Amino acid sequence: MGVAVLDAGASRSDGRPMPPAPVLRPAVAALLTDFLRHLQLEKGRSAHTVRAYRADLEPLLASIDEVATLDLATLRRWLAAGHAANASRSTLARRAAAARTFTGWAHRAGHLAADPGVRLVSPRPRPTLPTVLGPEQAAAILNAAGTGAEEGAPLALRDLAVLELLYATGVRVAELCGLDLDDVDRSRRSLRVLGKGSRERVVVYGAPAAAALDRWLAAGRPQLVKPGSPPALLLGARGKRLDPRVARSVVHRAASAVPGVPDVAPHGLRHAAATHMMVEARRLYPEFDWRGDSGRWADLLTGSTRFRDMLMAGAPAAEIVGAWRAELSGWDDRREPYLLYRGARR
């Protein structure tokens, strides 16, 4: 009798239900569970990453009776079936990478006599550039959201805070939705973020994001808090932690509401934040050799609200470097504090 490993009730990131899970042999299913546990507990992979591995590997493992029979021919047939089903090059490359990770683990654990994944060749995904908003487009989205929040509706205030923080800090949408109230240091305008691999870092934000966050905490969040609400920074309409899917829809709606602005996802705001920071910093300090001193500037563009204020005021580079070093001297070295400067709007 086979076993379906996929969680019941699982759904895609867009909210649609997942297709039925392939049925695996009990021994194969147990081994896949061990592999997924290895990814989560030993490798520190996120729950989302573990689900992605499982979704990629289940169709492969459903075609075999025992893992010991998994060979290069089986892997190639599996990828060929995906190609015949019009899977994209990036999808095939991701599946092949998942298979190589699994076969490498199975070989080291003694479940495979040899590792067939080392000889598996997959198509390379075609490099594509992400859609990046211009500074004027980003400002238009945020200004439109600010206008919509003028009446003080709690969801409108929350949506404005989501947009401002995503653009000001460049954090991932899951990182933003995972923030708790005690992760915010409003005096230093900084957020303590738990990122990929459970690595903690500190990011800072500017005055527009601070104003939006203050309004949300003062007038918006108290209206959505319920007796059983978590200490989440951002709440949904029912008082629960804001779901990343809802945050994504907030960004899509905000972009579609502004004529002439391309549809953009939260990750698009992350790209925009990094791009606008680098462009503006280079404009302020054109005499600096950005290519030759890229490492130094990568370090310099980390820091605090004090550094950001000095940068916006056009202080000399030497003065900023000194302030940056003094500011970071007492911080935990295990953190990765950085600043994504938003030059489009002060």
Q: What is the mean pLDDT of the chain?
A: 80
pLDDT band of 316, cuts 50, 70, 90? low
- For the segment 209-218, the average pLDDT, to the nearest whole number, is 95
Residue 128 has pLDDT above 80, yes or no: no
pLDDT at residue 17, as a whole number? 53
pLDDT at residue 48, as a whole number? 83
220-272 per-position pLDDT tens digit: 999 999 999 999 999 999 999 999 999 999 999 999 999 999 999 898 888 88
Q: Which residue has the higher pLDDT, 232 or 4?
A: 232
pLDDT band of 297, cuts 50, 70, 90? very low
Q: Which residues contact 180 (CB under 8 A, 6 or more apart)?
A: 230, 231, 232, 233
| Max avg pLDDT among 13-27, 119-133, 175-189 | 175-189
Q: Which CATH architecture has domain 135-339?
A: Orthogonal Bundle (1.10)
pLDDT at residue 201, as a whole number? 87
Phi, psi of 216 (to 5 degrees): -65, -45
Cα angle for residues 67, 56, 6 (degrees, 5° grid): 85
- For the segment 120-147, the average pLDDT, to the nearest whole number, is 85
User: For 58-72, 98-112, 116-130, which range has the lowest pLDDT when averaged over its residues?
Assistant: 116-130
Asked if residues 184 and 233 have their Cβ atoms less than 8 Å apart, the reply is: yes
Q: Which residue has the higher pLDDT, 7 or 110?
A: 110
Orientation of helix 89-108 relative to helix 26-37, angle to 10°: 90
Query: Between β-strands 190-194 and 184-185, what pairing exists: parallel, antiparallel or unpaired?
Result: antiparallel
Closest by CA position to 158, among listed 216, 217, 208? 216
Residue 299 has pLDDT above 50, yes or no: no
pLDDT at residue 306, as a whole number? 53
Residue 308 has pLDDT above 80, yes or no: no
% residues pLDDT > 90 (the chain): 52
For residue 65, count CB atoms less than 10 angstroms from its CB and return exposed for 0-12, middle for 13-18, buried for 19 or more: exposed
Cα–Cα dist 323/154, whole Å: 38
Q: Which CATH architecture has domain 3-119?
A: Orthogonal Bundle (1.10)
Residue 125 has pLDDT above 60, yes or no: yes
Residue 2 has pLDDT above 80, yes or no: no
- For the segment 102-121, the average pLDDT, to the nearest whole number, is 94
Residue ranges per domain, the chain? 3-119, 135-339
Residue 150 has pLDDT above 60, yes or no: yes
pLDDT at residue 304, as a whole number? 45
Residue 196 has pLDDT above 50, yes or no: yes
43-94 per-position pLDDT tens digit: 888 888 899 999 999 999 998 999 999 999 999 999 999 999 999 998 999 9
Residue 105 has pLDDT above 70, yes or no: yes
Closest by CA position to 77, among listed 32, 19, 120? 120
Q: Which residues contact 265 (CB under 8 A, 6 or more apart)?
A: 248, 251, 252
- For the segment 291-303, the average pLDDT, to the nearest whole number, is 45
